[in-house]
């Protein structure tokens, strides 16, 4: 008996973080269809990212971080596929080999007393200072969410900050042939 992708999920499974990447036709309302399915059916969205990824074919990639048991996440994938403009849904955790990254911009309240510590920490995390017309201290940090989390925790211990984060984007790192 071969194991189908439709085989019953395990009876008991733990809640886990999953990154879903969804390719969609870039048409009006498509994002609303996707996130409306999540809210309407009571699923979670931890973060969401959407951008056009191909100019010629008019396709966007939506990256959604969600959490749930494998049963719930498999149901999310199937429900996403029912949406007409959805091309494909990939659960990157299931694939097991993917890379992810996100960007955070951090406005840092700086003073003579904390300046040294701030710059040391930013240097340690390879956060890049962004020059701007107002001469304020804004750093950019990119990388896996875990790393960004740690940076934010540590900088918070030094001084007051304001943060904006993109939420992760992710891509499968499995080797592909060019024709695919």
Choice from 19, 22, 50, 86 touching another protein (CB under 8 A) = 86
Instruction: Please spell the DSSP secondary structure of 138-164, one letter per residue.
Output: EEEEEE-HHHHHHHHHHHHHHS-EEEE
Number of neighbouring beta carbons within 10 Å of residue 131? 7
Does position 40 interact with another protein (CB under 8 A)? The reply is: yes
Burial label, 24 (beta-carbon count in 10 A; 0-12, 13-18, 19+): buried
Choice from 3, 12, 55, 84 touching another protein (CB under 8 A) = 84
Task: Report phi then psi at 173, rounded to 5.
Answer: -105, 10
Nearer to another protein, 55 or 134 (CB): 55
Q: Is residue 94 within a helix (H) or strand (E), and if so which, with residue range?
A: helix 92-95
Structure tokens at 69: 């048991």
Does position 176 interact with another protein (CB under 8 A)? The reply is: no
Local structure of residue 84 (DSSP, 8 states): T
Segment interacting with another protein (CB under 8 A) among 45-53, 77-85, 99-107, 159-167 = 77-85
Does position 74 interact with another protein (CB under 8 A)? The reply is: yes
Quick note: the x/- pattern for another protein over 91-130, rule CB under 8 A, is ----------------------------------------
- Residues of this chain that interact with another protein (CB under 8 A) are 1-2, 4, 6-9, 11, 25, 28-29, 32-33, 36-37, 40, 71, 74-75, 78-79, 81-82, 84-88
């Amino acid at each position: 008996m071969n194991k189908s992708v439709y085989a019953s999920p395990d009876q008991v499974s733990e809640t886990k973080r999953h990154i879903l990447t969804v390719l969609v036709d870039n048409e009006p309302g498509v994002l609303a269809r996707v996130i409306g399915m999540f809210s309407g059916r009571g699923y979670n969205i931890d973060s969401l990212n959407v951008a056009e990824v191909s100019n010629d074919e008019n396709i966007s990639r939506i990256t959604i971080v969600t959490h749930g048991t494998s049963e719930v996440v498999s149901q999310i994938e199937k429900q996403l596929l029912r949406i007409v403009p959805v091309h494909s849904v990939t659960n990157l955790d299931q694939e097991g080999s993917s890379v992810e990254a996100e960007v955070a911009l951090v406005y840092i309240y700086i003073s003579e007393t904390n300046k040294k510590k701030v710059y040391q920490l930013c240097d340690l995390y390879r956060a890049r200072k962004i020059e701007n017309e107002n001469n304020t201290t804004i750093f950019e940090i990119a990388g896996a969410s875990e790393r960004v989390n740690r940076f934010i925790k540590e900088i918070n211990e030094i001084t007051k900050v304001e943060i904006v984060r993109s939420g992760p984007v992710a891509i499968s790192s499995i080797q592909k042939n060019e024709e695919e």
